[in-house]
């Protein structure tokens, strides 16, 4: 039976974030659209396994990297809030993404992207030049430290004054990234998608599908450098192949937009001023 807010769901089908109300939408447990096709094409047992949840932007980054590189991998969907043992065995913190490679496991999306880079298989995402590599890491850090938390502060804000304040914060942090980008683009460093683009890609996908409907976040200004970046990232093949249908994001993020208890460790960190998980 569906747990996505259908009124017919019985109490035991509900997720804790629904607070006993079957009319509340909850996170999806299976990918849809292009992402489902890709998940199905990678369901066979492989040495390299990505444990992920279809709605999760941190998983999305690693999945885009795997697709970009054309690696032979298995995608394993897990219900991250029910924390199966196979996830906890790799990540005792119980967060996705988690990666298993043979009998070795690791977690943390940025660390996993670097690991895939270090395998030296398929197309790289980090440039060769040490200065550009350092710059990639600097702007990835900016995304993780400033853009990602601003996204959640804005989405979770319930008062209109706070929403205006956090929309401004998000715009300012995005502007810093855009000012540092190659002028011609369309990607951050120029004609090709690289590490920094993949780091921000899942939040770009969710700006149009989550921030726009829930908070009125505007489409990028036509002709702007930001628009160029957004279009290039949205149209990149590995991004399209790992993105689900719009409803999946709309439903999965209602709990954040309403700032509901029992949503996630990210929600609690933002609400109570802790560090992001």
Ligand X SMILES: N[C@@H](CCC(=O)N[C@@H](CS)C(=O)NCC(=O)O)C(=O)O
Cβ 2 to ligand X shortest distance, Å: 21
Cβ 109 to ligand X shortest distance, Å: 3
Distance of CA 153 to the CA centre of its chain: 15
C-beta closer to ligand X: residue 81 or 214: 81
For residue 63, what are its two tokens?
């999945």
C-beta closer to ligand X: residue 111 or 164: 111
C-beta closer to ligand X: residue 58 or 166: 58
Cβ 98 to ligand X shortest distance, Å: 9
How far, in Å, are 84, 97, 197, 272 from residue 93 at the CA level?
A: 12, 11, 27, 19
Cβ 225 to ligand X shortest distance, Å: 26
Is the link from the previous residue into 186 a cis peptide, with omega within 30 of 0?
Answer: yes
Burial class from Cβ neighbours inside 10 Å (0-12, 13-18, 19+) for residue 203 reads buried
C-beta closer to ligand X: residue 81 or 226: 81
- Distance (Å, whole) CA 94 – CA 91: 5
How far, in Å, are 73, 92, 176, 182, 188 from residue 67 at the CA level?
A: 9, 27, 28, 24, 19
Interface contacts to ligand X, rule CB under 6 A: 53, 56, 58, 80-81, 94-97, 108-110, 264-266, 277
Strands 48-52 and 104-107, how do they pair?
A: unpaired
What sign has the CA pseudo-torsion 132, 134, 138, 141? positive
How far, in Å, are 6, 179, 182, 247, 254 from residue 23 at the CA level?
A: 6, 43, 46, 15, 11
Cβ 222 to ligand X shortest distance, Å: 31
Cβ 41 to ligand X shortest distance, Å: 23
C-beta closer to ligand X: residue 35 or 95: 95
Cβ 73 to ligand X shortest distance, Å: 17
Separation of first and last alpha carbons in the chain: 31
C-beta closer to ligand X: residue 201 or 266: 266
C-beta closer to ligand X: residue 188 or 253: 253
For residue 131, what are its two tokens?
């200065």
């Amino acid at each position: 039976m569906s747990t996505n807010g259908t009124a017919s769901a019985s109490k035991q089908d509900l997720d804790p974030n629904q607070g006993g109300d079957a009319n509340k939408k909850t996170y999806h447990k299976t990918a849809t659209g292009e992402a489902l096709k890709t998940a199905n094409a990678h369901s066979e047992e492989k040495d390299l396994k990505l444990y992920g949840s279809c709605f999760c932007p941190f998983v999305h980054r690693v999945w885009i990297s795997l697709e970009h590189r054309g690696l032979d991998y298995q995608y394993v969907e897990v219900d991250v809030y029910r924390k199966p043992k196979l996830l906890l065995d790799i990540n005792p913190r119980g967060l996705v993404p988690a990666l298993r490679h043979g009998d070795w496991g690791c977690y943390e999306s940025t660390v996993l992207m670097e690991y895939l880079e270090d395998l030296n298989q398929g197309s790289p995402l980090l440039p060769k030049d040490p200065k550009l590599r350092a710059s990639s890491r600097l702007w990835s850090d900016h995304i993780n430290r400033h853009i990602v938390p601003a996204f959640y502060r804005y989405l979770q804000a319930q008062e209109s004054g706070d929403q205006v304040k956090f929309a401004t914060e998000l715009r300012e942090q995005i502007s810093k990234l855009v000012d540092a980008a190659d002028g011609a683009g369309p990607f951050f460093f120029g004609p090709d998608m690289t590490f920094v683009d993949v780091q921000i890609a899942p939040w770009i996908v969710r700006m149009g599908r989550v921030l726009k409907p829930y908070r009125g976040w505007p489409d990028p200004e036509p002709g702007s450098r930001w628009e160029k970046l957004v279009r290039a990232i949205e149209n990149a093949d590995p991004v399209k192949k790992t993105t689900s249908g719009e409803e999946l994001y709309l439903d999965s993020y209602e709990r954040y937009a309403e700032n509901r208890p029992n949503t996630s460790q990210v929600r609690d960190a933002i609400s109570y001023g802790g560090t992001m998980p």
